[in-house]
Amino acid sequence: MSMPEIRSFRPGDEHAINDGFNSVFGKHRSIEEWAWKYRTDDPQLPIVAAWEGDRVAAHNGGIRTEVQIDGRRVVALQGVDTYSLAAKMRRPEWRAAWSDVMDHFAEIAVETYGASLLYGFTGGRAVSHMVVRASWDSVEPRRIPLFVRCDRPSGRSLVSRLFRARPVADYEPALDQLWRRVNHRYPVAVIRDADFIRRRLSGHPSVHYHRWLITPRLSSTPVAFVAFRSDDGCCRWVDLVWDGRHPGALELVDHLSRRVAEQTGACREELWLDGDPDAAEWLRAFGFSDGPDPSSVARVTRILDDEVNAEALAAGRFYTTMADADLV
């Protein structure tokens, strides 16, 4: 009995890979959304799959990011779309293929992409598979705090009127300036510069992101950035960057959230926020309640670089919003 072939992505694989994803997760993701997610203009895609002929047995994809860890900038791969078709296709001989895929993915992460870190967000039984079978166990799996508000206060504070918001274009150079001003607040974080926002929050074939840059009324210096997605009755704060010095800017962000919710008919607002205790305190003051995400989704991590200390990635140090996930 021949074993599935483990190999990296080749152009033309995408349809079978995307069909496998839809089959395992019960989705209807289009090939256009797949291409948006992986940014297929990149000549090398960090994707590994197990193949039996033209059939996919197991798969793991990666999104290349840059992460700052206490001032050091490293390449990381965010693992996404991890699945095995062994159970669904009733092919027990495929069971080992997923582990082989994950091992090969870790190899190319270092050899081809120079990655120091692997991380991803997963839930349910998949957490234990990632930790035990794939060695994404460098730090304890972290359930990200979810902030939720269903009762919105009316009105707008006076201090928020000292700031203004302007819509952000697909590529906004002022985001580079903002990140240089605020990155010291986030010991560990994905680099949130103009290029990251362009890649993550523009060009989606079916999702519209509401994006704003916040500045004082008498200055052009950016002090905050926010992006929302509002559909299915929920307004989500997809991303938030804040300088920590201007609470009025955060109050304006809160006002924008309420306005987007009202305009789109959302009755609930929510966000992930981990690694910014000052912003968390303000959110509670705005009427949000928080706790571990009840979906059981957790971040799992594998360190590939001996110079990266696991203690640097301790709970609460890795700044995380919904923009760090891949499905919001």
pTM of the model as a whole: 0.95
274 pLDDT tier (thresholds 50, 70, 90): very high
Q: Which residues contact 307 (CB under 8 A, 6 or more apart)?
A: 72, 116
CB atoms closer than 10 angstroms to residue 163: 22
Alpha helices in 94-173 (DSSP H): 97-111, 126-128
pLDDT digits (tens, 9 = 90+) for 108-148: 999 999 999 999 999 998 999 999 999 999 999 999 999 99
Residue in this structure with the two tokens 């019960």, named with its chain if needed: 26
CATH code linked to domain 5-144+295-324: 3.40.630.30
* Coil vs helix vs strand at 263: helix
**Cβ contact 94:58 at 8 Å:** yes
**How would you classify the pairing of strands 145-149 and 289-292?**
antiparallel
- DSSP state for residue 130 in the 8-state scheme: I
Q: Distance between CA atoms of 36 and 204, rounded to whole angstroms?
A: 6
pLDDT digits (tens, 9 = 90+) for 58-102: 999 999 999 999 999 999 999 999 999 999 989 998 999 999 999
CATH 3.40.630.30 region(s) of the chain? 5-144+295-324, 146-292
CATH code linked to domain 146-292: 3.40.630.30
Residue 315: closest CA among 157, 145, 182, 148: 145
27: amino acid identity, one letter: K
317 pLDDT tier (thresholds 50, 70, 90): very high
pLDDT at 42: 72
pLDDT at 41: 77
Model confidence at 327: pLDDT above 90: no
pLDDT at 153: 73
Residue in this structure with the two tokens 């190319």, named with its chain if needed: 108
Half-sphere exposure of 176 (CA within 13 A, CB side): 5
**Cβ contact 25:40 at 8 Å:** no
